[in-house]
Amino acid sequence: MHEHPHNDPAAKTKALEALLVEKGLITSAAIDEVVKSYEEDIGPMKGAQVVAHAWVDPEYRQRLLADGRAAIAELGFTERQGAELVVVANAPEVHNVVVCTLCSCYPWAVLGLPPSWYKSYAYRSRVVREPRVVLGEFGLDLPESVEVRVWDSNSDIRYMVLPERPKSTEELAEEELSALVTRDSMIGVGRAKAPE
Amino acid sequence: MSDSVDRKVANMPEELALPRTNGELVFATPWEARAFGIAIALNEGGTYAWRNFSEGLAAQVAAAERAGIDSTYYERWLEALAQLALAQGLITAAELNAKMADLEDDHHHHSRTKRQSGVVKPLLGIPDSF
């Protein structure tokens, strides 16, 4: 570490922060706030609330599909960086899956930070080329009759999948429904869980 | 290449099994969290449009993958951040090098001081959690 300080990311990060703070461009407190919110608060449970609400309220579902950014704001969530949120609904004959082929764009407000595999070259390159094979590796085998749509996120538009509501959940309350919604189901590499 | 790519995807469930917060491992090291927070805080403070950072990150990712460099995601993120800060004139390369050298010297001095007297001097007011 001491022999190669310029290649040491920890040292470089520390130097960058110190310089930017000295110049008054950021404060360490603002960085603390961002880190804390992503570590402790913002995560896929917010997306699960959005999905469960859309399952029980058909009008909300329509608004969500028409304007994702405005609809999640109704529940108090805001996609940062001014990005649009496009929500795409799964149906018996259509399955949606989300990727960012260039880097790692992702709907942070509703899903938190992306899992490591979402950022991997393997996922980014293969899910576009052979989505059914990749989905199969996640344990999601789709019949040939189901159309697979792959959505490529970018810095302006982020996508979230609205998974299908599992069967036999008519009696469940919205909060119980949200517990069935997994992060992977909102990326489109899985389904919502079946009730126990 | 395609073998290693396939192996990576086949290993996804193991990656998913790592310790998680909010359903996922958020940051592997403290510096990753700081590098993440700096990029977001600068954007939210109006220093640059998110697209500028995002495109720089995509360029770092593409360059590393083309060259077969096995850097981590946050190493690429940090490089995108540093390059953007330089390109926008927020800092100069000379300032960055000097600051890294200062911190390095301070660290050495700090270690010596600690050995001699057991007194620990704070580094430029940077929080302990750094």
Is the CB of residue B80 less than 8 Å from the CB of residue A13?
no
Rounded CA gap, A97 and B24, in Å? 19
B114's enclosing H/E stretch is helix B93-117
Q: Are A16 and B44 an interchain contact pair (Cβ–Cβ within 8 Å)?
A: no
> Phi and psi for A93 in degrees, rounded to 5?
-105, 0
Per-residue model confidence (pLDDT) at position B24: 56
| Cβ contact, residue pair A103, B33, below 8 Å | no
> How far apart are the C-alpha atoms of A42 and A72, rounded to whole Å?
13
> Is the predicted pLDDT of residue A155 greater than 90, yes or no?
no
* Stated pTM of the model: 0.80
Q: What is the rounded distance in angstroms from the CA atom of residue A146 to the CA atom of residue A64?
A: 23
pLDDT-derived band at A194, boundaries 50, 70, 90: very high
Task: List chain B residues with CB under 8 Å of A120.
Answer: 8-9
- The answer on pLDDT for A127 being more than 60 is yes
Does A39 have pLDDT greater than 60?
A: yes
Over the stretch B73-125, which tens digit does the pLDDT of each residue have?
999 999 999 999 999 999 999 999 999 999 888 776 655 444 444 444 444 44
Task: Tell which residue, A168, A163, A159, has the closest CA to residue A181.
Answer: A163
Shortest CA gap A146–chain B (Å): 23
The pLDDT tens digits of the residues spanning A158-188 come to 999 999 999 999 999 999 999 999 999 999 9
Q: What is the per-residue pLDDT across B18-72, written as a single tens digit (0 to 9) for each?
A: 334 445 557 889 999 999 999 999 999 999 999 999 999 999 999 999 999 989 9
pLDDT at A33: 93
- Does B96 contact chain A (CB < 8 Å)? yes
Tell me the two tokens of residue A41: 């608060």
Rounded to two decimals, the ipTM of the complex is 0.84
DSSP character for A7?
A: G
Tally of residues, chain B: 130
pLDDT of residue A59: 98
Catalytic entry in A28, A37, A103, A155: A103
